[in-house]
Amino acid sequence: AQAGFKVVLCSRSREAGLNAVASLPTEDGRLVCVAQLNLADLVSVDAAAEEIATLAGPRIDFLVLNAGIMATPTRETTTQGFELQVGTNHFGHFRLAEKLWSRVAQKECRTVVLSSTAHTFGGVELDDLHYTKGRAYSPWGAYGQSKACNLLFAKELSERLAPSGASAFSVHPGVIRTNLWREDQGPSFLNRLGFLSFNKLLPKLLSDKTIEQGAATTVYACLAPRLDKSFAGAYFADCNVATPAAAMSDPDLRKQLWEITEAQIAEVLK
């Protein structure tokens, strides 16, 4: 908003979104609109996409798929019956991007998907994404799977957007002091230690980032002029290209994930 862009802020609670806008300096707040969005309900996603389209107009320069849920202690489900973490973090964002396709598939538009170094926590089980076929549920394994799906989605999305001149990236924002560390999930020392113990980059994660620092890589992926087509589908951390897990470069895996996601969404919404 400070740069003069009109911003559509999505929030599960419209009241919370409006309160966030009210906290901004007056000149910035005038350029921020609020759309209600619950990523754990695909009907809400569809309604939000219509509202966003009305507010944003025919073109969305930067679509930032930022929301998420992390490490729910037990297996829960979305409104449509998907495992809650992959359903919210991947399926909800996938559907939103799909519904806004005509507005983001335009020359020089960018879609930025928030993934995480947590994509290394667990593999993507295409035949059991929702832990319904005997796979033991793990809070961090499920979170890691959802973040891997985000990264794979961004790479495949970038490929499919290429003919339009648009691009897509994924980012690892870092460990940020946000409400993801809610009281019911942490931020107890043991909970956070459990998170860190999964990560082989432990020394780099001992210091949290502020919200501003955490947003920096997302803003970079949106605005950096040097990100031409040679960076298509890139994964960023600390405002630099980073190397994801080897499996994230598998074109068959990301294509299959795309097709399975499409099919499962179509099945629950038919």
Q: Which residues contact 173 (CB under 8 A, 6 or more apart)?
A: 114, 116, 209, 214, 215, 217, 218
Active site (annotated) includes residue 137:
yes
Helices 139-161 & 251-269, crossing angle to 10 degrees?
100
Candidates 100, 227, 221, 240; CA nearest to 170 is 221
What's the one-letter identity of residue 1? Answer: A
- Kindly name the residue from 131, 137, 220, 235 that is annotated as catalytic: 137
Cβ contact 75:124 at 8 Å = no
Q: Determine the Cα–Cα distance for residues 13 and 189; give it in Å rounded to an integer.
A: 29
How does DSSP assign 148-204, residue by residue?
A: HHHHHHHHHHHHHHGGGT-EEEEEE--SB-STTS-TTT---HHHHHHHHHT-TTGGG
Give the active site residues.
Answer: 137
